[in-house]
Amino acid sequence: METAPVPLPSGRFTIGKTFDFEAGHRLASLPPEHKCSRQHGHSYEVEVVLSASSLQGPGFVTDFGDLSPFKQYLDSELDHHNLYEVLDFEPTSELLAQYLAGWFITNMPSRIARQLTAVRVRETQRSWAQFDVAAT
Ligand SMILES: Nc1nc2c(c(=O)[nH]1)N=C([C@H](O)[C@H](O)COP(=O)(O)OP(=O)(O)OP(=O)(O)O)CN2
Ligand SMILES: [Zn+2]
**Looking at residue 2, what is its pLDDT?**
85
How confident is the model over 9-33, as pLDDT tens digits?
999 999 999 999 999 999 999 999 9
Q: How many residues does the chain have?
A: 136
Domains in the chain (CATH in brackets) are 13-132 (3.30.479.10)
**Looking at residue 67, what is its pLDDT?**
98
Q: Say whether 111 sits in a helix, a strand or coil.
A: helix
Closest among 61, 53, 70 to 105, alpha carbons compared: 70
- Give the pocket of ligand 1 (CB within 6 Å): 27, 36, 40, 92-94, 123-124, 126-127, 129
Q: Which residues are catalytic?
A: 36, 80, 123
Instruction: Supply the residue whose CA is at minimum distance from atom 26 of ligand 1.
Output: 126
CA distance 17 to 108: 15
CA distance 6 to 62: 25
Q: Is 25 labelled as part of a ligand binding site?
A: yes
CA distance 132 to 136: 12
**Looking at residue 69, what is its pLDDT?**
98
Instruction: Supply the residue whose CA is at minimum distance from atom 25 of ligand 1.
Output: 126
Ramachandran area for residue 102 (φ above 0: left; ψ -120 to 50: alpha; else beta) = alpha
Q: Is 34 labelled as part of a ligand binding site?
A: no
